[in-house]
Amino acid sequence: MKGAGTAIRAARANRLQTSLNLALRSALASIDVTIPAVAVLSVVLHQPITLGLGEKDEILLTLTLFISIIALGTGRTTVLQGIVHLAIFAVFLFFAVVP
């Protein structure tokens, strides 16, 4: 929580890049602790690890990663690329509500 508070203070001081870096670092630190803990529990309890994604979700995730590579690989993004991302997100929300 300390990193998140610092990120908020940086955002209030109008230091956007610092704020984003701190927020992402906080999130990454949480993930870095969670994933190894779950992996160790999986080994200790002899249980397989599953992502919990269905076929549709895996396809949408792969599509999102592919579109992100195209959009960010050029160094510039367009409104159309943003609309494509929003459309994929809308499809994800639709499938989350209507399985």
Question: For the chain, what percent of residues have pLDDT higher than 70?
Answer: 95
Mean residue pLDDT of the chain comes to 83
- Chain position carrying tokens 């609309």: 83
Report the C-alpha gap between 60 and 68 in whole angstroms. 12
- Structural contact between residues 42 and 48, judged by C-beta atoms closer than 8 angstroms: yes
pLDDT tens, residue by residue, 24-71: 888 888 888 888 888 899 999 999 887 677 888 888 888 888 888 888
- pLDDT at residue 85 tops 80: yes
pLDDT attached to residue 29: 82
pLDDT attached to residue 51: 66
67-79: average pLDDT: 83
pLDDT attached to residue 45: 92
